[in-house]
Amino acid sequence: MKEEKALKKLQVILRLETVERVKEALSAIGIGGATLMEVRGFGRQRGHTEIYRSQRMEVDFRSKMMLEIVMEEEKVDDAVKIILENARTGAVGDGKIFILPVENVIRIRTGESGREAL
């Protein structure tokens, strides 16, 4: 079955200490489910808190949390706003939001697909 109304996945990389706040704040927009993963990653500073000039600087993977949520496209703007409000400290390493298209979702117990299945 083809899903005609768009679904998106938000892949949200967060600091360990902001996850709880973000999760609670997101309940305001009514999400059907979410997946939380412990990840390790680096961004522009390559895991360092100061920017070094050396070309030979090594990459340091930092512990982060990744929250994945599939939602209806029309909720995405509100979700992004809520995440920005609750995850931003202003210091480097606050994280990132990736927004991906989702082709379909199927609820295993019932066989429902698309929005019904969220």
Ligand X SMILES: Nc1ncnc2c1ncn2[C@@H]1O[C@H](COP(=O)(O)OP(=O)(O)OP(=O)(O)O)[C@@H](O)[C@H]1O
The residue ranges that bind Mg ion (CB under 5 A) are 43-45, 92-93
Phi/psi region, residue 93 (left: phi>0; alpha: psi -120 to 50; beta: rest), is: left
Among the listed residues 41, 102, 107, 118, the single contact to ligand X using CB under 6 A = 41
Residue 28, contacted partner among ligand X, Mg ion, none, CB below 5-8 A by kind: none
The residue count of the chain comes to 118
CA angle 66, 70, 76 (to 5 degrees): 95
Residue 32, contacted partner among ligand X, Mg ion, none, CB below 5-8 A by kind: none
Residue 15, contacted partner among ligand X, Mg ion, none, CB below 5-8 A by kind: none
Quick check: 94 binds ligand X (CB under 6 A)? yes
Quick check: 57 binds ligand X (CB under 6 A)? no
What phi, psi does 97 have (nearest 5°)?
A: -120, 120
Quick check: 62 binds ligand X (CB under 6 A)? yes
Burial of 72 (0-12, 13-18, 19+ CB in 10 A): middle
Please report how close the Cβ of residue 117 comes to ligand X at its closest, in angstroms. 27
Q: By C-alpha distance, which of 42, 48, 46 is closest to 95? A: 42
Q: Please report, as ranges, the residues that interact with ligand X according to CB under 6 A.
A: 13, 39, 41-45, 62, 64, 92-96
